[in-house]
């Protein structure tokens, strides 16, 4: 006997659970199926983001930053801390509590929005006159049927060929968030977002961290003024980042992992570490979905094939988030979730890919939206640039964190803001103003004319906008 719904969402990560809530708001009868469970075997909705991604990584980044501040920076404020010690189990326990609060929050939202939640794996099994048929297996055994289906099954960590994750010594993001004792020597393969964030956490807690990155250019997708500044700062903090590294062999024994690699100058090198984080990107996850049963098309890399509106090749089957093309970001998944629910209801939901912000939560934080200088040059777009350093910002001085800058790129003729790039304190929060301006297709002068509270970090945004017109006031 199939339980009938208007919509079944497979996956309760940020793409799936937000699609379910929006569809319910629009009057649909909605079910959401999710398989995730943590140690206790109970439902843990929220996907990668809540369980082993955004939320736990930010909890550990915050805790480790406090530790670093207490050890190295409180003294500048006249606060002497003697005998600062680390209780790693408590730090990890707090991180788990934060995750659990988010899991429970989503379960509450399902109840509030009258969404039927099924804990188990959802697989396509066929189609009838009533709609697509989905079998749930796991904690719950159920047969569901719905006119619409949203596939939001997310992604998983990419492993190096021949080097499976054991989460004891060779760690994915999952193991990297759960190391039981600070390793003396930690290796990281891949100087991308996870490598830098998790490398920073364990460096602050006392590990000697060595990063091996294949590309010759550090953070190639980031504006190179910002990336170069970041590289200098991270090296100074103690992250040993090796660019242009080619891994030739990796061997693990019971106690250590040994990596043979060739450096940028072609010299053979050996790195021996106690733990190794492999953070070389993520792959779409469609295991057990039964895509082949109904003929749901995947592309050559395994992503569910969708059009600009997240429609798949099958009628009324939609796909959102990490399992489809585009940046693997929680807020991108959420925007797509909202847009597909609105389209099912006959509205015109859409996602503006030009204004999706990126944030790397290192210290200092790095955030950007829109195009960077190298992209504008390559496209032959005429642009103006204005920068303002936090060194000249009163609030940053008061905080005791004056690293970095705001850089604004605007069209040479129209002054429209084309990209904003920030490295510095609270860059993650500052970037929201830039996103808003770009969403309204505003000009640098618009930011320059807006009254910003004093003393705030946001004044650096205003000053950078003034600098586009060569009239910064405080620099």
Q: Which positions are catalytic?
A: 454
Question: Which one of ligand NAI, ligand FAD, none interacts with residue 175, CB within 5 to 8 A by kind?
Answer: none
User: Rule CB under 6 A: which of 199-228 touch ligand NAI?
Assistant: 212-215
Report how far residue 298's alpha carbon sits from residue 313's, in angstroms, rounded to the nearest whole number: 9
By CB under 6 A, the residues from 15 to 34 that bind ligand FAD are: 15-16, 33-34
Distance CA 307, CA 322 (A): 15
Q: Which does 340 bind (CB under 5 to 8 A by kind): ligand FAD, ligand NAI, none?
A: none
Tell me whether residue 37 or residue 456 sits nearer to ligand FAD (CB atom).
37
- Which residue in the set 7, 23, 31, 35 belongs to the binding site for ligand FAD (CB under 6 A)? 35
Cα 249–chain centre separation: 29
CA distances (Å), origin 203, targets 150, 194, 258, 297, 371 = 40, 14, 19, 43, 31
Q: Which residue lies nearer to ligand FAD by CB, 285 or 388?
A: 285
Confirm if 285 and 197 have CB atoms less than 8 A apart: no
**Contacts of residue 30, Cβ cutoff 8 Å, sequence gap at least 6:** 5, 6, 7, 8, 9, 20, 23, 24, 113, 114, 115, 116
| 292: enclosing H helix or E strand | helix 291-294
Binding of residue 57 to ligand FAD (CB under 6 A)? yes
306 binds, among ligand NAI, ligand FAD, none (CB under 5 to 8 A by kind): none
Asked if residues 340 and 318 have their Cβ atoms less than 8 Å apart, the reply is yes
**From the CB of 235, what's the least distance to ligand FAD, in Å?**
22
Q: Determine the distance from the C-alpha atom of residue 470 to the mean position of all C-alpha atoms in its chain, rounded to a whole number.
A: 35
CB nearer ligand FAD, residue 34 or residue 433: 34
Neighbouring C-beta atoms of residue 276, cutoff 10 Å: 28
Q: List the one residue from 279, 286, 387, 402 that touches ligand NAI (CB under 6 A).
A: 279
CA 230 to mean position of chain CA atoms: 18
* Tokens describing residue 194: 């996870």
Beta bridge partners of 353: none
Question: x/- contact string, 340-359, with ligand NAI (CB under 6 A)?
Answer: -------------------x
Pick between residue 360 and residue 447 the one whose CB is nearest to ligand NAI.
360
Of the candidate residues 67, 117, 202, 285, the single one contacting ligand FAD (CB under 6 A): 285
Query: To 10 degrees, what angle do helices 427-439 and 459-468 make?
Result: 50
Select from 43, 195, 326, 370 the one that contacts ligand NAI (CB under 6 A): 195
Which residues contact residue 183 at a Cβ distance below 8 angstroms, ignoring those fewer than 6 apart?
A: 202, 207, 273, 274, 275
222: three-class secondary structure by DSSP: coil
289 binds ligand FAD (CB under 6 A): yes
Task: Specify the residue, 95 or 395, whose C-beta has the smaller distance to ligand FAD.
Answer: 95
| Residue 364 site contact among ligand FAD, ligand NAI, none (CB < 5 to 8 Å, cut-off depends on kind) | none
Residue whose structure tokens are 């050996």: 270
366 binds, among ligand NAI, ligand FAD, none (CB under 5 to 8 A by kind): none
Residue matched to tokens 């660019």: 243
The interface with ligand NAI within residues 81-140 (CB under 6 A) comprises none
Binding residues for ligand FAD (CB under 6 A) = 10-16, 33-36, 47-49, 53-54, 57, 121-122, 152-155, 173, 194, 285, 288-289, 321-323, 328-331, 333, 361
Binding residues for ligand NAI (CB under 6 A) = 189-195, 197, 212-215, 245, 247, 279-282, 327-329, 359-361
């Amino acid at each position: 006997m199939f339980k009938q719904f208007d919509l079944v969402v497979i996956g309760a990560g940020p793409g799936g659970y937000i699609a379910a809530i929006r569809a319910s708001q629009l009057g649909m009868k909605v079910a959401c199926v999710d398989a995730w469970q943590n140690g206790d075997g109970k439902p843990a909705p929220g996907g990668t983001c809540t369980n082993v991604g955004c939320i736990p990584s930010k909890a550990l980044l915050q805790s480790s930053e406090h530790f670093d501040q207490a050890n190295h920076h409180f003294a500048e404020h006249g606060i002497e801390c003697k005998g600062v010690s680390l209780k790693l189990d408590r730090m990890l326990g707090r991180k788990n509590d934060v995750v659990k609060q988010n899991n429970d929050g989503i379960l509450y939202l399902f109840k509030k929005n009258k969404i039927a939640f099924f804990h188990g794996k959802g697989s396509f099994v066929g189609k009838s006159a009533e709609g697509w048929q989905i079998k749930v297996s796991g904690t719950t055994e159920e047969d569901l049927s719905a006119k619409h289906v949203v596939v939001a099954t997310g992604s998983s960590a990419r492993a190096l060929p021949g080097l499976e994750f054991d989460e004891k010594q060779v760690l994915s993001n999952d193991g990297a968030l759960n190391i039981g004792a600070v390793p003396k020597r930690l290796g990281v393969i891949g100087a991308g977002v996870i490598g830098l964030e998790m490398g920073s956490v364990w460096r602050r807690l006392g590990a000697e961290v060595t990063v091996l990155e294949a590309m010759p250019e550090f953070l190639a997708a980031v504006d190179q003024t910002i990336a170069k500044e970041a590289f200098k700062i991270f090296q100074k903090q103690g992250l040993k980042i090796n660019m242009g590294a080619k891994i030739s062999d990796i061997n693990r024994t019971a106690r250590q992992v040994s990596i043979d690699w060739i450096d940028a100058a072609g010299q053979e090198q050996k790195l021996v570490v106690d733990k190794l984080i492999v953070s070389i990107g993520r792959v779409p996850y469609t295991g057990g979905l039964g895509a082949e049963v109904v003929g749901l098309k995947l592309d050559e890399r395994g992503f569910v094939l969708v059009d600009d509106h997240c429609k798949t090749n099958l009628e009324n089957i939609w796909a959102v988030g990490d399992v489809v093309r585009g940046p693997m970001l929680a807020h991108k998944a959420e925007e797509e979730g909202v847009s597909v629910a609105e389209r099912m209801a006959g509205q015109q939901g859409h996602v503006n890919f030009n204004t999706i912000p990126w944030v790397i939560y290192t210290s200092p934080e790095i955030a950007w939206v829109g195009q960077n200088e190298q992209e504008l040059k390559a496209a032959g777009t005429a642009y103006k640039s204005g920068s303002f350093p936090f060194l000249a910002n009163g609030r940053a001085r008061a905080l005791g964190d004056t690293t970095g800058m705001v850089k604004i790129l605007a069209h040479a003729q129209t002054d429209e803001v084309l990209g904003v790039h920030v490295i510095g304190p609270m860059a993650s929060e500052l970037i929201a103003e830039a996103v808003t301006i770009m969403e309204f297709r505003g000009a640098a002068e618009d930011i320059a004319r807006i009254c910003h509270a004093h003393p705030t970090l946001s004044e650096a945004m205003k000053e950078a906008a003034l600098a586009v017109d060569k009239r910064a006031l405080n620099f």
